[in-house]
Structure 1
Amino acid sequence: MSVMVVGQIGRDVVLQTPELSGTGGTHPVRERREMLGGKGANQAVGLAQLGVPVGLIGVVGADEPGASALEQASSDGIDTTHVIRRGTTALVVSVVDDSANRLLLEHVPQHALLTPDDIDRGRPGLLAADTVSVQLQQPISSTLRAARQGRQAGALVLADGAVDLDHSDELFELVHVFRADADEAELVAGEPVKTPAAAMALATRILHKGPVLVALAISGVGDLLVWRNGSRLFPLSDAPVVDRTGAGDAFMAGLIAALRRDADPVQAGHLATAAASSTVGHLGGRPQLDGLRHA
């Protein structure tokens, strides 16, 4: 049995510069990194590093970057059997300065997004998985199809990202675990979610719609986990932040790895926040979680 991650695969280019300011002039690049990226791939890499058997359903281009992404994913121990190839590979360029300010440039063509037919092609992988993790940055028709198939197969179903409000009730009925960052939580709530009390109120409303565990990030505060009979706030780490890219993906990898070994929500929250803290300490969204494998 394994985890099947449904989400974006692409190429990440990360540039570090001393300061992001103004719109003109020249900004020197101190460091440049190119790597396998995308929220789905980052999460799958993190899971593999934590010792979890994992596969991907996503799209890469029928181009050299796509071939390179597949080669890297395979070398990371990720099953790419159900990855679709077409068009050009999605690209994200991230410019990060010494204060962890970030500018993102994204080229994600429509053909780089999953369709319901793509999900159906990956159905054998979904049926074989004990856990299905769906990134909500994909079209709602595709994410609902994946969540529904995972639920019908008896898998633990998780969803991460911004919810299409027209389909939120349908989604929440299908997932066991829902996670959102601060901006995504605000979209669900229809108002800022800046305090633990506001996050608790939102999480409670979501729990009443179906999930058994909700994780919400609170900007500048930390991560709140809420379940049917309890809650726990995990404050932000004091560790220096180099680049916030990929923190949420690492959080999900840690959460999934812990839940699959029957950890309780508090134990799962500790591993998830440790994974996120580890990831913001280096440049780029690719996680480095091998040291947490036995945590």
Structure 2
Amino acid sequence: MTAQEANAQFKVVVVGQVARDLVLQIERMPDDGGSVPVQKRQELLGGKGANQGVACRRLGADVSLVGVLGDDQAGHTVLAQVAADGMDVNGVVIRDGAPTALLLDIVQPDGVRRLFEDVDSRVLLEAGDVRASEDLLRSANAVLIQLQQPAAAVTAALDAADPDALVVTDGAPPDNQTRERVLRRAVVVRADVEETEALVGWKPADLTETIEAAQKLLEEGPRVVALASPTGGNVVAWPGGHVVLPFIEEEPVDPTGAGDAFVAALTVGLLHGQDPETAAWWAAVAAARVVGKAGGRPELDLDEIRQAAANARRR
């Protein structure tokens, strides 16, 4: 049985950014006024929403994407790529007169990355865009919401999700009112170091403080909290326990999309009924598979992730 056949009963809706992603691999940054050759160029489907959607799809879930593209050639090309990746595009809005978001990912050896973002405010989600996809959201087993979107869109997505859905948020909410709504409704909360500061009001300085931050957030409602540690790796906590996950990939090429693959595999693991610790190891392995290549597009296989996670956990 393939991963898609095994996981076909799970429907995931991802609410977030969709963009054109241009990845350039170079040996070094040029000096002022100078130039360097590009070793490899990739033009990909990108954005956090699209990355998480692709990862969930490759782990076998049925995926619908809710996001915004511009009504330009790039937008129509990206929309075709979303469909080609096997995702439902009925929730993707084509905004008249808006330019499709562009992400420029400059990758140097040893995993050094610089990301340039050209994101017009018109390609951010509006509450009406989300409400137009209420039927999709209500039918989903899991709803993944990127908190980099405007507060009204985030709130609309929280409201539209089925009460029994696994609601997963990624990032930091734009204001305190949205923060409170997120922590009351989300089942899973994921944040990097800077986003953790916005969620708890202080920036963890080490692993111990990251664990403390995760436990504080659990007290406010979520059942699983996943936070990046400033000293490397991730902490995943749940009521009564936590696990510290190291970086598994020893030779990172590009960190782009690692967090998105982490979120996707954590979600799929929980949908499969795995306990939070097991799902967390699935997430760590998925992230490692992404950073091993440039561009943030994961080559993920559910059975391989499951086995590799079991092996990593025994080490």
What is the TM-score of this pair, normalised by structure 2?
0.89
One-letter amino acid matched to 1:253:
A
Please point out which of 19, 28, 44 is paired with 2:28: 19
Please point out which of 74, 85, 101 is paired with 2:94: 85
Q: Is the 8 A contact 2:206 2:231 kept in 1?
A: no
What's the offset of the Cα at 1:127? 0.9
Report which stretch shifted further, 188-197 or 72-81: 188-197
Task: From the superposition, tell whether residues 237 and 194 of structure 1 become closer, same or farther in structure 2 (CA, over 3 Å).
Answer: farther
- Indicate the residue corresponding to 1:38 in structure 2: 47
- Indicate the residue corresponding to 2:268 in structure 1: 257
Count of residue pairs the alignment pairs up: 294
- SS of 1:270's equivalent in the other structure is helix
Matches within 5 A, 1:79-228: 79-86=88-95, 87-150=98-161, 152-167=162-177, 168-228=179-239
What's the offset of the Cα at 1:220? 3.8
Q: Is the 8 A contact 2:144 2:168 kept in 1?
A: yes
- Indicate the residue corresponding to 1:241 in structure 2: 252
TM superposition outliers: structure 1 runs of 4+ over 4 Å? 291-294
Report which stretch shifted further, 97-106 or 128-137: 97-106
CA RMSD of aligned residues (A): 1.5
- SS of 1:179's equivalent in the other structure is strand
Task: From the superposition, tell whether residues 29 and 114 of structure 1 become closer, same or farther in structure 2 (CA, over 3 Å).
Answer: same
- Indicate the residue corresponding to 2:295 in structure 1: 284
Q: Is the 8 A contact 1:20 1:96 kept in 2?
A: no
What's the offset of the Cα at 1:290? 2.9
1:118-162, CA deviations, whole angstroms, 9 ceiling, x for partnerless residues? Answer: 010010100111111100110011112101221x44311010012
Report which stretch shifted further, 186-195 or 211-220: 186-195
* Partner Cα separation in structure 2 for residue 219 and residue 19 of structure 1: 26
One-letter amino acid matched to 2:195:
E
What's the offset of the Cα at 1:291? 6.3
* Partner Cα separation in structure 1 for residue 174 and residue 140 of structure 2: 25
One-letter amino acid matched to 1:204:
Q
* Partner Cα separation in structure 1 for residue 250 and residue 47 of structure 2: 24
- Indicate the residue corresponding to 1:68 in structure 2: 77
What is the TM-score of this pair, normalised by structure 1?
0.95
* Partner Cα separation in structure 1 for residue 107 and residue 254 of structure 2: 7
Q: Is the 8 A contact 1:221 1:236 kept in 2?
A: yes
One-letter amino acid matched to 1:154:
D
What's the offset of the Cα at 1:21? 5.8
Q: Is the 8 A contact 1:51 1:293 kept in 2?
A: no
Task: From the superposition, tell whether residues 209 and 5 of structure 1 become closer, same or farther in structure 2 (CA, over 3 Å).
Answer: same
Report which stretch shifted further, 119-128 or 155-164: 155-164
Q: What 5-or-longer segments of structure 2 have no aligned partner?
A: 1-9, 307-315
Q: What 5-or-longer segments of structure 1 have no aligned partner?
A: none
Task: From the superposition, tell whether residues 214 and 27 of structure 1 become closer, same or farther in structure 2 (CA, over 3 Å).
Answer: same
What's the offset of the Cα at 1:192? 2.9
1:88-127, CA deviations, whole angstroms, 9 ceiling, x for partnerless residues? Answer: 2110011111132222111111110000000100101001
- SS of 2:49's equivalent in the other structure is helix
